[in-house]
Amino acid sequence: MKKLSLLVSFLVVLFISCTGDTGPEGPPGFDGLIGSVFDVTVDFTEADGYEVFADLPTNVLDTDVVIAYVLSGVDNGVDIWEPLPQTLFFDNGILLYGYDFTVSDVRFFLDGTIALNTLVALFNVRST
């Protein structure tokens, strides 16, 4: 019985607090900025130290955030995107597939305990 009276009391308070006029409308806010999306295709090679730099658009601010994704496959014509960084585990070591950025560029890189020159296939990256 205590539980029922507690529930009824809670519902009464909830409904009473929801009645009345709404307050005045607040001041208008700033228009939001829409982020930009761009694709970059990179090939990792031993000659470039398994890192590639890509220039960012000129409208990137120092308060902006860059998020990178890798195109991991296609399912029935629909792209499958996975966020970076990613850690891949192999029998002979670990591969880190990551990125970092400044206001002017993004650096994609491979790192880890695996010997990078033993990778059979080079990875292609798309970033947004």
Q: Is residue 78 part of a domain?
A: yes
* pLDDT of 8: 67
Task: Read off the pLDDT of residues 25-38 as tens digits, 9 standing for 90 and up.
Answer: 888 877 777 777 88
Peptide bond preceding 85 in cis form (omega within 30 of 0): yes
Tell me, yes or no, whether 30 lies in a domain. Answer: no
Within-domain flag for 28 = no
Mean per-residue pLDDT over the chain, rounded: 80
73-114 confidence digits (pLDDT tens): 999 999 999 999 999 888 888 999 999 998 888 999 999 998
Asked if residue 109 is part of any domain, the answer here is yes
- Residue 126: which of 9, 61, 38, 12 has the closest Cα? 38
pTM of the model: 0.65
Q: Which residues pair with 70 in a beta bridge?
A: 82
Residue 71 inside a domain? The answer is yes
Q: Give the length of the chain.
A: 128
Give percent of the chain with pLDDT exceeding 70.
77
In a domain, 73, yes or no: yes
pLDDT of residue 122: 39
12-28 mean pLDDT: 72
Whole-angstrom Cα distance, residue 38 to residue 44?
A: 19
Q: How many CB atoms lie within 10 A of CB 99?
A: 20
Please count the structural domains in the chain: 1
Question: Domain residues for 84?
Answer: 36-125
Q: What is the reported pLDDT for 124?
A: 43
Residue 79, in any domain of the structure: yes
Burial class (CB in 10 A: 0-12, 13-18, 19+), 44: buried
